[in-house]
């Protein structure tokens, strides 16, 4: 049950235009301080994983690993996505409790 809750919440955040996906856009949002939570797929390349995690660490942005790029993409109604940034504090906090 809990698993599907974060997916629905991500969909809601996406409809509210509070998410961004894709590596470059996500890195940009981390740098300008808008990203509140990063969702990274477990099947992301090691290069992407390292790049995103390092950037998040230096900017103090939490990262949660989710099962797969298909689930991540599906949640926001798009094709497979490796990384999604949540840009809203409320959504990010709730999602972190669901993903713990």
pTM metric for this prediction: 0.94
Q: How confident is the model at residue 4 (pLDDT cuts 50, 70, 90)?
A: confident
Give residue 100's pLDDT: 83
For residues 49 and 82, is the Cβ–Cβ distance under 8 A? no
Q: What is the pLDDT of residues 37-70, one digit of tens each?
A: 999 999 999 999 999 999 999 999 999 999 999 9
Could you read off the pLDDT of 22-39 as tens digits, one per residue?
999 999 999 999 999 999
What CA–CA distance (Å, rounded) separates 1 from 47? 32
Q: Which residue(s) pair with 66 in the sheet?
A: 41
Architecture of domain 2-99: 2-Layer Sandwich (3.30)
The residue ranges of DSSP E strands in the chain, in sequence order, are 19-21, 37-41, 63-66, 83-86
């Amino acid at each position: 049950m809990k698993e599907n809750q974060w997916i629905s919440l991500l969909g809601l955040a996406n409809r509210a235009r509070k998410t961004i996906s894709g590596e470059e856009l996500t890195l940009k949002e981390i740098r300008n301080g808008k990203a509140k939570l990063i969702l990274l797929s477990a099947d992301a390349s090691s290069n992407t994983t390292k790049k995103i995690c390092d950037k998040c660490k230096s900017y103090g942005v939490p990262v949660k690993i989710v099962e797969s790029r298909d689930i991540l993409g599906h949640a926001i109604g798009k094709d497979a996505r490796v990384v999604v940034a949540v840009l809203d504090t409320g959504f990010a906090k709730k999602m972190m409790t669901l993903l713990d």
